[in-house]
Amino acid sequence: MANQTAMPTPILAEDPEAEKKPPPVKRIKARHILIAHNESKDGPKNIRRNRFDARLKAEDVMQQIQGGQDFKRLSLKYSDDNSAARGGELGVFERGVMVEAFDTLAFNLKENQVAMVETQFGFHVVERMPLKEVHLTHVIVQWKGNSLSKQKRSQNKSIKRIEEARSALLAGMSPEEVAKKYSDGSFGKRGGKVGWFQKGQLNPTLEAAAFQLQVAEISPIIESKLGYHLLIRNH
């Protein structure tokens, strides 16, 4: 269902309301139920329903969801997309990844809102799901005896090293430079960026700190069985 679309028109600098408008949402999480028909692109070969019947079926499914029925159960029962096995979940995606009509609808929905849209694949019942995620840079300093550590330094040397790393960040050195200089492991050599994380995807000790950070904020030093950590929230 991937497709490239044109970027949205930017807000003009002279727009007096520009500063009051929230930045456009760049990433969302969604799920869908696809009701295909005999004219659908790449649809299952055994589908005999026509476009009119597919629309009626999709409207019925949407009404069931709005009436309180479980989305996942209905996806398993009705969806003609292979995402049905995941309860219709499409994961997290950015603007322009999905076909245009689907993309436009999904990004205009509020969280937990359900709506229907038609594409060349059929009729989609779409729900925008809640999404809270952080994009992180990670600095880790290990010592001999840590889990997965290849270091021979002592714990005392490690605490001094992580304190130096945090001081460098506070003094204005970029997270990428600090990671390359101080961090152990392969991510350090690449500047420490470890990407996007949703709740439940991080070590619980690190997650508690990560989701309290504001953008560009540096965490306190965190100790785990892997070593000493610093987290910097990028987005």
Arithmetic mean of pLDDT, 128-141? 95
Say what the pLDDT of residue 114 is: 97
Q: What is the pLDDT of residue 145?
A: 86
**CA distances from residue 168 to 139, 210, 233 in whole angstroms, order as listed:** 12, 20, 16
Q: What is the pLDDT of residue 39?
A: 95
Instruction: Tell whether 117 and 51 lie within a shared domain.
Output: yes
Q: Is residue 5 part of a domain?
A: no
pLDDT band at 100 (very low <50, low <70, confident <90, very high): very high
Domain co-membership, 118 together with 148 = no
DSSP string, 128-141: EEP--EEEEEEEEE
**Structural domain total, the chain:** 2
191 and 108 in a common domain: no
Domain boundary among 77, 98, 129: 129
CB-based contact 101:123 (threshold 8 Å): no
Instruction: Write the pLDDT tens digit of every residue in 196-216.
Output: 999 888 989 899 999 999 999
Residue 23: the pLDDT is: 55
Domain boundary among 103, 129, 155: 129
For the cut 60, the answer to whether the pLDDT of residue 10 exceeds it is no
Domain end, chosen from 97, 129, 161, is at 129
Do 197 and 143 share a structural domain? yes
pLDDT given for residue 44 in this prediction: 86
Q: Which of 86-90, 197-201, 221-225 has the lowest mean pLDDT?
A: 197-201
Q: Are residues 123 and 139 in the same domain?
A: no
What CATH number corresponds to the domain at position 24?
A: 3.10.50.40
- Side-chain half-sphere CA neighbours of 64 within 13 A: 17
What are 104-115's pLDDT values in tens digits? Answer: 999 999 999 999
Asked if residue 3 is part of any domain, the answer here is no
Residue 166 has pLDDT above 90, yes or no: yes
pLDDT of residue 6: 32
Q: Are residues 72 and 98 in the same domain?
A: yes
Residue 116 lies in a domain: yes
Give me 134's structure tokens. 């952080």
Residue 175 tokens read as 């997270």
Which pLDDT score, from 0 to 100, does residue 19 have?
43
Mean pLDDT of the chain: 89
In terms of domains, do 76 and 158 share one?
A: no
For residue 90, pLDDT beyond 60: yes
Mean pLDDT confidence for 92-108: 96
The reply to whether 119 and 212 lie within a common domain is no
| Same-domain status, 141 and 48 | no
Residue 8 lies in a domain: no
- Asked if residue 197 is part of any domain, the answer here is yes
Question: Both 45 and 93 in a single domain?
Answer: yes
Considering the domain architecture, whether residues 107 and 142 belong to the same structural domain is answered as: no
Structural domain including 196 reads 133-233
Give the tens place of pLDDT for each residue, 25-48: 789 999 999 999 999 998 888 899
Confidence of residue 101 (pLDDT cuts 50, 70, 90): very high
Q: Are residues 149 and 105 in the same domain?
A: no
Q: Say how far apart CA 193 and CA 135 lie, in whole Å.
A: 8
pTM attached to this predicted model: 0.70
Confidence at residue 1, expressed as pLDDT on a 0 to 100 scale: 55
Confidence of residue 14 (pLDDT cuts 50, 70, 90): very low
pLDDT > 80? residue 167: yes
DSSP for residue 169: H
